[in-house]
Every structure is written in structure tokens, then in C-alpha cells.
Structure 1
Amino acid sequence: MTGTDGLRLDLTAHHSEYLPADGGVVDVVAAVRAAPGGPAPRHDGLAEVILLDCSGSMGAPQSKMRAARAATLAALEALPDGVAFAVVEGTGTARMVYPQRRRLAVADESSRAAARRAVQRLTPYGGTVIGAWLLLARDLLATRPDAIGHAILLTDGRNEGQRDVDLRAAVQACVGRFTVDCRAVGSADGAHDWDGPELLGIADALGANPVVPVEDLTGLTDEFAAVLDRALAHRAGAARLRVRVGGLARVRFVKQVYPTIVDLTDRGVPAGDLTVDYPIGAWSPTDRRDYQVALEVDPMSPRLRRRIGWLSVHTAADEDPDAVETPVTVEWSEELELVSQVHETVAHYTHQEGYAEQVRLALDAAATGRSGEAERHLGRAVAIAYAGGHDDKLRQLARVAELLDPAAGRVRLRPDADLRRWQYSVAYAPQTSSWASGDPGEADPAGRVAPEPRVEPWEHCGEPRVHPYCDECGAHHRSATGRPG
């Protein structure tokens, strides 16, 4: 699918085709890959807000504030002419650093120089009210509704100056307005004062981008540059994954499963009869994301084959009702060998979702003093990581527990592992590796979609049909085998 924004999004669906005759759940992995579909848009269609934590903790030690200023200066220098931008000082309130008035500036040689001078004067003081920072970013970006809005949020602390309910309300007020990349500053010894679940809640709601912990301050400038490069490549600001089902199926859940796990189920917006759109954020031509769509399917007679749903992707500029839909086709069966198969893409992500859930449960238990329960959940996470060959995750978990027997999941919590040492693993746990066997979802190099096979005209649901499937109920006409659906 190519929108008028010059971006092509291609979707390929992977799932096991067989399910029991008495019905069940079909898990579909929708691999979405972006590619250029036309000339790149001009930079005046982009808007960037840098939310810089300047609370007192950023001065302990002062190297955090120095690194944050240096990274911001480098990001400003890299802003191309024409990009709308602003820098916000985040403390117990949100204050404009540049420009001074509540508006967006336009990047050019003069504005970049003025912004750099303003940033160099920043010093750490005060508290942390992240909701206020986000709401100011929303208001600033609302002045450019035509632009693709993005924010970089840098913090080293938790939202101590605001009630949780108020932060959640602020985040909800920003949903759909812009996307955000969170960078969480910690110390080299692995202790972090920010709150992993808190930042994940912000990141999940505002674009589903990973939360990236930063322990080596010398790399912060490169990290800012990488985030900015990706943001400046955005061509679509509000893409949607559309799920349309027939009368035989219902949506159980929709999740993003790569590059990070985010539940999108409650964010669906009706888009027609038995059709729901799920927001999937901003896209650039090199982006790759995978989604899991679980469909509950009714019982049917064995050997019947039906289309139970259709998946498609759309951008804000693409309202074509005839956009290419990828069908989800299943066959009911009584053969145990067929119905017990799990597609390897689904297994790959289910495995990683299990790890993230166990880490979350371990933190919840540890935070309320239930050390035995925390140990059990952490042991399960270790066993999953070990089985999957995720040595990086094992190293992170070793910060809070001794890994006595990783294969068996035997661990012992470290007595000196306070909650600050859990945050890195909690933030990193939902980040997944892509299913790479054959690189699923890669489009034909020319971007072509394989046409449906031609069949002789046939009749179903009282109407003549010229395609292999009945448009009314999804029945499959098996002309190749001589067995009509």
C-alpha cells in the first residue's frame, strides 16, 4: 500500500492454517515493512520537541547535566533547515528554553545558534513532573497540526511531583498527537532512579517505541543523534493496522510484538462493519514492525475452508477503501497433528512475551517485599532467556540475582539488589528480537503483491462469484482440487 505521503507499507500474514472443528483461537503475526513509495517529503512537514530533564538529580553528579546539554547541542546542530522545533526545560514545571514564547521555531542558522546559547545556560534544580512536560509538548505540536510531531524525552528520575493518576491523564491527552522516544539516564554501576513501568507506560501510549536506558554518558550524544535521524525520516505520522473479520471470528487481542511488546487492544477505533483500526504510530522508509492478532473462531465441519478475516495497513494520507487486504484463511480439522501446530513466528514472539511477563511479575513481588515470589518469577524469566539464547538478558538479570542454574531457572536474589537495580531489566524486557528465519514479511523486491489465482465462475451465498473466495462468507472455492468449499 502506498499513500500520498510517499511511503509504502507492505503486510504479510503468518499463521497456522488449521484449527479444531470445535473452534479455537487463530494467532496471526502481521509483519509490516516500510519502503519508499515516492519522493521524500520536505523537512517543513516535521516538528521536534526536546524535553530535557533539568531537575536537581541531574546535578548528582554534574556529569549527567553536562552530557545532556552536549547531546542537545549536537541534536540542534543536526536539525535541517525547515524543521519546526522547541527545547523544553523539565523540572517541577515545564519551561520554554527556546524559543522563549510558547511556540515552535523554524530551524535555520540563526535559530539553531540562539537555541544552542539558551541550552548552554541550563542548570539542574527543582523536582520532576513529567506530565507537565508532555502537555507542553502537546500544546506546542498542536500549533503545527499538518506536521508529523515527535518528542525526545530525557530523564534520570521518576515522576515524584505528580500523582500517578495525573500523569496517566496527561499521557492520555497526548495520545495520537505525537510520538515519543524515552531515554533514561542511570549510573555505570547499574543503579537507576527512574521508574521502568512509568516510562514504559509513556512510551507504549505514545508511539510504542522502546525505552532505552543510558548508563554510559559518553554515548548520549550518539544516542540523541540516532533518535533524531529516525524521527527526521518519518513520512507517515498516524498509520493504522486495520482488522476486518467475517461472521465466524472475533478479535481477542492485538499487540505489537516487535521491536517491543505493546498491547493495542483497547486502542482500537471502529472503521466500519466488523472492522477496527489500531494505531501503529509514525513510520519511516526503513521501519519494520510485527503485530500479533488473535482471532476467536467459531466451530465448523471438518475440511471446510474459510476466510475469517482480512488485515491491511493505512496511513493518514491513505483513505483508499480499495487498499490491498491480506486474507486470513483457515481450515477446520479433526487431525491432531494439524491442529496442534504452532507457526514458528507465533512461537518466537510468545516465548519473548513470556519472558517480559515474568520480569514484570518479579518486580511487582519485589516491590512489595514478597522475595520468595520474586525469586520464582525471576527464575522462570532466567529459564526462558537461557532457552532462547538471550545472553544479554541473562547479564541484566544477574544484577539482581545469582544465576545458580539458568537452564533449570534456579536463582537467588542478591541481598544488595534494591529496586533501582531492577529498572534496566524492566525497561528492556519488552524489547524483542525479530523472527529472522527467511526474514518474514519481506516484500517482493519490486513491491508486487501476488494476484489471486483465476477460477471458473461459481456460485455461493446465492450470488455468482469470480474470485476463489466468497465475498459474503469467505468460503473457499477449491477449483484446483475439484472440492468446492
Structure 2
Amino acid sequence: MTEADGLRLDLNAYHSEYLPTEGGTVDVVAAVRAAADGPAPRHDGLAEVLLLDCSGSMGAPQAKMRAARTATLAAIDALPDGVAFAVVEGTSQAQMIYPGRRTLARADESTRAAARRAVGRVAPHGGTAIGEWLLLARDLLGTRADAIGHAILLTDGRNESQRASDLRAAVRACTGRFTVDCRAIGSADGVHDWDGPELLGIAGALGANPVVPVEDLTGLADEFAAVLGRALAHRSGAARLRVRTGGLARVRFVKQVYPTIVDLTARGVTVGDHTTDYPIGAWGPADRRDYQIALEVDAMSSGSRRRVAWLGVPADGESDPPELPVDVEWSEELELFSRVHETVAHYTHQEGYADQVRSALEATRAGRLTEAEQHLGRAVAIAHAGGHEDKLRHLARVAEILDPESGRVRLRADADLRRWQYSMAYAPQTSSWVSGGGAGAVADPSPAPEPRVEPWEHCGELRTHPYCEGCGRHHTSTVDRSG
């Protein structure tokens, strides 16, 4: 459990504890749950930038621009006094809508009224350079480094006015500086001109929030207000998941697996020997996220039991947070080491679906339609086996589902790439695992964090934990059952 800024982050961990004697991979699901732990901080510790797509396509039809203005006004109205904010016009450049110069305004009755008037004057024109919009948001939020920064990005198109490499560079420059929620406008008949992988890359790097397609423009204002409400609840701006391994294990990958799948491996920051922190974004009291940590573990004799890793969620400035242990036992019994923990299986199943949808889109773009049908068929079979009717409805937009159980499908003749984006955006979004599979069930609690002990020497070094971090042996030697 970690506490900071009136917020408590609770950590549970789940995994199958048996390995074959030749070693292998231990998959751990770390469930992080937030809860309020004290009064909410003042709103002057929050900063918001609204990135409004004003490119020419937003005027075709004009209903998109009208809905975008209405949604932005709803967001402005929802800003409490004290929040720092700005509204940006996004075209082939990034220009200020409000305030008139490149700075943040402090929300109050007069600034909200002035922002409303400024938004009412925007009109669609020009191209789309999303990287420029993000860089301006970074600069604006950088003027309030003490605040928790967030942006809402609304677009209806792809990044056609700058090179893809420039967008990637802009995203890298913004990573860790603020979080973003992307809302992508399409038409009511399912045609979307934005690029799913492009927006997923932005969202994944800047907070790992889902990309949400919008086809019903009448609900856009409520959507903006809801997104802003969640952002205003943030009490921690830069939480971290810590993974510490002993000499027997190495990190293969770390992924967020709920509410959306995002690979965090390359973002890890080394903070000590065999210890890495992975950024997990901003948190409010209602937030819950799950992470998968894959550990490559060495071979040992049958019956050996060792502690191979420790997991924690350090608070800001905390160097020695409470930790949960990851224990494993080596066995020659196939029935034991072949078991997959139901939590891990739940997310592996959904990752398989997302991989197949992504591969199907890539094959379609390359003109390999038979291969695309094969990948789509596998995605359909996975969704059907998991009872995910919503995912089947998404795939039915681009393929005729002939037999969901066997995964037999046929690509629709009218399924151009613009109809793929909706499914692409939703593919990495996952359902949360709960113990027993029932709605509202509570997962079994993990073991309590290990106690600190008096320093003891093992493997040639002074140890401060009950287990030797070099070999995993318990300092009382009672856990090793190998004899």
C-alpha cells in the first residue's frame, strides 16, 4: 500500500507458482487499485489543455465542428475555479484559442466566459499536424510544473500535415510530461478518417488511456465533461510500478493489460541493482489498472522454492516502498507447472485478440486479403470463446461472420480501411478480471508485504530482506524443500 496526496494505491499480485526444473517464464498480474485517503487537494494543483481539431475536414459536414465547439464549451463550464487551463486550435499548426498568448489561464467566472467567446469564433480550415498540437500542450503545461497536467485531444483525421517521424518525436518529447485522452470523430455509418494505430501510439505513450471513437455527435459534450471530471479527480501525477528481481530472474516485459493493452517495457527506469520503475501515469480515487510482468527464471532442482522478485508502487520521493514477493517452486510434475493462473489467462486471451486484429489490419493495408481473413477468423474465434459479444459486433463491421466458433469469416466488399479504425481502437481495450469471474466479485488478497529484518550476510553481501536477493534463499533456510 502506498499513500500520497490523499490517495492510497493498493497492490495485489497473482501468478502460478510452479516452474519446470529447466526454468521458464513466470507471468505475474499486478492489480493496482486507488482509493481516496483524505480530503481532495485544491484544484489549483491541476492543469488542463483542450486540443481542438479545427482542420478543414471538421467542416465536412459542419455538424462535426458544431459538436466539437459544444463539447469544448461543456468542458470549459466544468472547470472549477483555480484550475489552470488553455484551449488550442489544431490545424497544420497549433495556435491559441484562449488565452490569446501562450500561457495558461486560471479558471474563474471571467476567464471561463472569455474562453467561451473565443471558442465560439473558431472555424474549420487547414490541415492536421497532431505533433504540433502536442508540443504546444507540453509547453503550456510546462509553465505549471507543480501541477498535474492533462489534455483532451479531439480529432477527426490523421496526421497528414507532418511526417510520421516528426509526430513520433513529438510524442517522445511529451512522454512523462502529461497524460492525454483521445476522442476520435467518425460518421454515423462507421466511416473514420483518423488512423487507429497513430492515435493508439499517442494514447499509449501519454498515460495509456483508451482511444474512444465517437459516432454519435449528440453525446460528445457529455463525453467531454465526463473525461474532464475524471482528470480533475487526479491526485497523483506520476505513479510508478517497481519491479525488483533477485539473481535468478530477469524481466522479459511489463505491460498494462487493463483497461487497455500498452507495452511499458522500454519505458522502465533503472533505480538500483536489479530494480526498475515503470511509469503508470496519473491516478484518481476511482482508478484501477492491471499490469502483466513476465519474468524469465533460471533452472533449479525439483522441490526448490525461492523468492525471485518483489513488486511495489512507490509514492513520490519514496525510496523503500512496501513490497509484495513473487515466490516460485520448481517441479517435475507436468500437472503443476503447466497450470496458468486464471488472471493471467484472462488477459493473455484478450491480448491474443488484439494481436490478431492488428495483424489483420496490416495485412489488409498490404493487400494480402486472404491473410487478413485468416487473422480476422482467429480474432472472431477468440472473441466467441471468451463471450465478448461487443468485439464480435465490432468485427462484423468489416467481415461477414459465417461461423464464430470455428472462426470462419469473409471480408466485406465495402470494408475499406476507414471502416477498420473503430475495431482497431477498441481491440486493445480489455475487461477486468475478478476472482470467480462474476460481476462485483473480489479478488483474493495477496500475501502481506514482507517484514524488514535485521541485516544478515549471504552470497557475500549484507542483506536487509528475509530472502537473499542473489539466490532467493530464505535467511532461516526453512523454505528450501530440496534438501
- TM-score relative to the length of structure 2: 0.95
Structure 1 residue aligned with 2:416, among 411, 418, 423? 418
1:349 aligns with 2:342: no
The answer to whether the 8 Å contact 1:7/1:34 transfers is yes
CA distance, structure 2, for counterparts of residue 191 and residue 267 of structure 1: 34
1:395 aligns with 2:393: yes
CA distance, structure 2, for counterparts of residue 484 and residue 19 of structure 1: 14
Query: 1:365 deviation in Å?
Result: 0.6
* 1:216-295 equivalences in 2 (<5 Å): 216-295=216-295
1:361 matched residue in structure 2: 359
1:89 matched residue in structure 2: 89
CA distance, structure 1, for counterparts of residue 156 and residue 448 of structure 2: 49
2:383 matched residue in structure 1: 385
Query: 1:220 deviation in Å?
Result: 0.4
Deviations 1:190-213 (A, max 9, x none): 000000000000000000000000
* 1:306-455 equivalences in 2 (<5 Å): 306-315=306-315, 317=316, 319-438=317-436, 450=448
Q: Against the structure 1 CA distance between its residues 329 and 110, is the aligned structure 2 distance closer, same or farther, given a 3 Å change threshold?
A: same
2:183 matched residue in structure 1: 183
CA distance, structure 2, for counterparts of residue 267 and residue 146 of structure 1: 22
1:13 matched residue in structure 2: 13
Gap runs ≥5 in structure 1: none
The amino acid across from 1:257 in the alignment is V
Query: 1:481 deviation in Å?
Result: 8.4
CA distance, structure 1, for counterparts of residue 209 and residue 148 of structure 2: 16
2:46 matched residue in structure 1: 46
Q: Against the structure 1 CA distance between its residues 134 and 335, is the aligned structure 2 distance closer, same or farther, given a 3 Å change threshold?
A: same
Query: 1:4 deviation in Å?
Result: 3.4
The amino acid across from 1:173 in the alignment is A
1:194 matched residue in structure 2: 194
Q: Against the structure 1 CA distance between its residues 21 and 441, is the aligned structure 2 distance closer, same or farther, given a 3 Å change threshold?
A: farther
SS in 1 for 2:241: strand
The amino acid across from 2:130 in the alignment is I
SS in 2 for 1:226: helix
CA distance, structure 1, for counterparts of residue 32 and residue 360 of structure 2: 32
The amino acid across from 2:421 in the alignment is Q
The answer to whether the 8 Å contact 1:33/1:441 transfers is no
The amino acid across from 2:103 in the alignment is R
The answer to whether the 8 Å contact 1:360/1:426 transfers is yes
Q: Against the structure 1 CA distance between its residues 117 and 443, is the aligned structure 2 distance closer, same or farther, given a 3 Å change threshold?
A: farther
Q: Which is worse superposed, 351-360 or 38-47? A: 38-47
2:472 matched residue in structure 1: 474
SS in 1 for 2:4: coil
1:157 matched residue in structure 2: 157
Q: Which is worse superposed, 5-14 or 226-235? A: 5-14
Query: 1:451 deviation in Å?
Result: 6.1
Q: Against the structure 1 CA distance between its residues 335 and 52, is the aligned structure 2 distance closer, same or farther, given a 3 Å change threshold?
A: same
Q: Against the structure 1 CA distance between its residues 423 and 463, is the aligned structure 2 distance closer, same or farther, given a 3 Å change threshold?
A: closer
* 1:88-167 equivalences in 2 (<5 Å): 88-167=88-167
The amino acid across from 2:210 in the alignment is P
CA distance, structure 2, for counterparts of residue 385 and residue 125 of structure 1: 41
1:305 matched residue in structure 2: 305
Q: Against the structure 1 CA distance between its residues 12 and 88, is the aligned structure 2 distance closer, same or farther, given a 3 Å change threshold?
A: same
Deviations 1:433-470 (A, max 9, x none): 001225788697xxx98365999x99965899997644
Query: 1:80 deviation in Å?
Result: 0.2
Query: 1:337 deviation in Å?
Result: 0.6
Deviations 1:218-266 (A, max 9, x none): 1101110110011000011111111100000000000000000000011
The answer to whether the 8 Å contact 1:9/1:313 transfers is yes
Deviations 1:409-445 (A, max 9, x none): 000001111000000000000000001225788697x
Query: 1:148 deviation in Å?
Result: 0.3
Q: Against the structure 1 CA distance between its residues 129 and 335, is the aligned structure 2 distance closer, same or farther, given a 3 Å change threshold?
A: same
Query: 1:368 deviation in Å?
Result: 1.3
The amino acid across from 2:381 in the alignment is A
Deviations 1:376-435 (A, max 9, x none): 000100110111111111111111110000110000001111000000000000000001
CA distance, structure 2, for counterparts of residue 159 and residue 176 of structure 1: 22
Gap runs ≥5 in structure 2: none
- TM-score relative to the length of structure 1: 0.94
1:170 aligns with 2:184: no
The answer to whether the 8 Å contact 1:305/1:476 transfers is no
1:56 matched residue in structure 2: 56
Q: Against the structure 1 CA distance between its residues 452 and 271, is the aligned structure 2 distance closer, same or farther, given a 3 Å change threshold?
A: closer
Query: 1:298 deviation in Å?
Result: 0.4
The answer to whether the 8 Å contact 1:53/1:156 transfers is yes
Q: Against the structure 1 CA distance between its residues 452 and 161, is the aligned structure 2 distance closer, same or farther, given a 3 Å change threshold?
A: closer
Q: Against the structure 1 CA distance between its residues 407 and 160, is the aligned structure 2 distance closer, same or farther, given a 3 Å change threshold?
A: same
Query: 1:116 deviation in Å?
Result: 0.3
The answer to whether the 8 Å contact 1:31/1:440 transfers is no
Q: Against the structure 1 CA distance between its residues 307 and 118, is the aligned structure 2 distance closer, same or farther, given a 3 Å change threshold?
A: same
The amino acid across from 1:280 in the alignment is I
Q: Against the structure 1 CA distance between its residues 109 and 16, is the aligned structure 2 distance closer, same or farther, given a 3 Å change threshold?
A: same
Query: 1:472 deviation in Å?
Result: 5.2
The amino acid across from 2:42 in the alignment is R
Q: Against the structure 1 CA distance between its residues 196 and 302, is the aligned structure 2 distance closer, same or farther, given a 3 Å change threshold?
A: same
The amino acid across from 2:420 in the alignment is W
The answer to whether the 8 Å contact 1:10/1:443 transfers is no
